[in-house]
Each structure stands twice: as C-alpha cells, then as structure tokens.
C-alpha cells in the first residue's frame, strides 16, 4: 500500500472522520464503521485533505485535464482546495467549478460557480465518499449541458465497497453506466488492512472482535 494511503487513514482517525462502533447508514444498514467528512473543520485539515486528493487524482488520471468539478455542497470546498493543491504540488493550473443548487439570475448569473466549462474541456468530478449514484445523476446533465465535454473520471475519498443498486459496488456501477473511470484515495479494504491488530498512537483500532463485525457486514452488504 502506498505511503500516502496509510497517512490518509491515520489522518481520518485524527480528524474523527473515520469511526468504529454501531451506526445506521442513510440507507438503513447497521454498520460497524462510519465515515463523516463533515468533521474536516479547519483550514489545516482541508489543506491536507486536498493534498491526499491531489495525489490520488494524479495517480489515476494524471494532471492532463482542464476542470475539477465539485458538486454542491460538499464538493465546492473540495474542488477549490484540491486545485490549489495540484497547483502547489504538480505545478498544473487546473480550473475549479461547482454547481449552485439554485440558478442565480443576477450578477454572476447561471448555475455554475468558479470557471465556466467549455467545448473540449476534460473534466474530473470530485466527491466526498462513495455515492449511490444519485449525485452523479444530477451532476452529469449540468456538466454535459455546458458543451462538448469529456468527463475523464471521478474521485472520492473513501470507497466503502458496498453494493450499490445491484450486486456491484456503487463506483463500479457508475463506471459501467456512464463509461468513465472512478477512483478513491483509499478503500475500506485498505483501511482494514492497515489498522487490523496494528497499534496507532498506542491503541489497536481494529481488534479481532471489530474485524469479525466488519467481515460480517461485508458478507451481508459487500460488493461482488
């Protein structure tokens, strides 16, 4: 596993973004782990998060694209911070863009924030965690309506590796349905691999009992 992935897993723990226990997901599933990206709350945390995103994007897509699109609302700061990180780390000046939930009819009119999207643009979409596809269904028509645009792919922070609408993962379903690549900074498999029976700051985060609960969860809800 790449070093930045290990550092990102530990970063999530430090930020209280990655938690273990008993939780209920939005879809009603009882889960032994939870990823709450709302706990990235400081400038330093957002800067570091953006650096992890930048490395994941560069590894999968390179920097030969034009626009990083972050769907409202969480995608707005992600697109801004990550284009800044790409500029700083890779010396590539990528444009950022997001959508508004409501179309603005005065001043800077329209549905987009940041850079306009133009014919010929190559776009990467940035999201927080694995999406069930609902956000993409709303986002893609907005991007495509701007002109002859190529969506290169999508990046999320954590792939929960759960079934989407069918038996495959939500990210795999998006790839099949829309024809572009998806990637994540880490997968839950990598999280477990890094933390299982390995002390972090003096504590074993995933012990045998928790590992058993995670395995049981994936037997029921894991993607095939």
**Catalytic annotation, residues:** 104, 106
- Among 96, 60, 64, 67, smallest CA distance to 180 is for 60
Q: What is the DSSP letter of 38?
A: G
Beta carbons within 10 angstroms of residue 10's beta carbon = 16
Distance CA 34, CA 49 (A): 18
Strands 199-200 and 30-35: unpaired
Q: Are the C-beta atoms of residues 169 and 132 closer than 8 Å to each other? A: no
């Amino acid at each position: 596993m790449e070093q930045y992935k290990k550092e990102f897993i530990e970063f999530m723990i430090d930020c209280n973004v990655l938690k273990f226990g008993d939780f209920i997901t939005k879809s009603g599933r009882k889960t032994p782990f939870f990823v709450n990206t709302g706990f990235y709350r400081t400038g330093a945390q957002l800067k570091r998060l953006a650096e992890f995103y930048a490395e994941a994007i560069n590894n999968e897509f390179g920097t030969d694209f034009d626009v990083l699109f972050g769907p409202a609302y969480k995608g707005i700061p992600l697109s801004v911070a990550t284009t800044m990180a790409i500029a700083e780390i890779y010396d590539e000046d990528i444009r950022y863009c997001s959508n508004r939930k409501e179309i603005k009819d005065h001043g800077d009119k329209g549905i987009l924030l940041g850079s306009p999207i133009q014919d010929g643009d190559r776009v990467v979409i940035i999201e927080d965690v694995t999406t069930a596809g609902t956000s993409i269904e709303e986002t893609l028509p907005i991007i495509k309506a701007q002109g002859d645009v190529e969506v290169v792919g999508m990046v999320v922070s954590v792939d929960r590796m759960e079934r989407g609408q069918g038996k495959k993962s939500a990210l795999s379903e998006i790839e099949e349905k829309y024809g572009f690549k998806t990637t994540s900074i880490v997968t839950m498999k990598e999280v477990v691999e890094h933390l299982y029976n390995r002390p972090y700051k003096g504590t074993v985060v995933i012990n045998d009992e928790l590992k058993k609960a995670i395995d049981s969860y994936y037997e029921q809800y894991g993607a095939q």
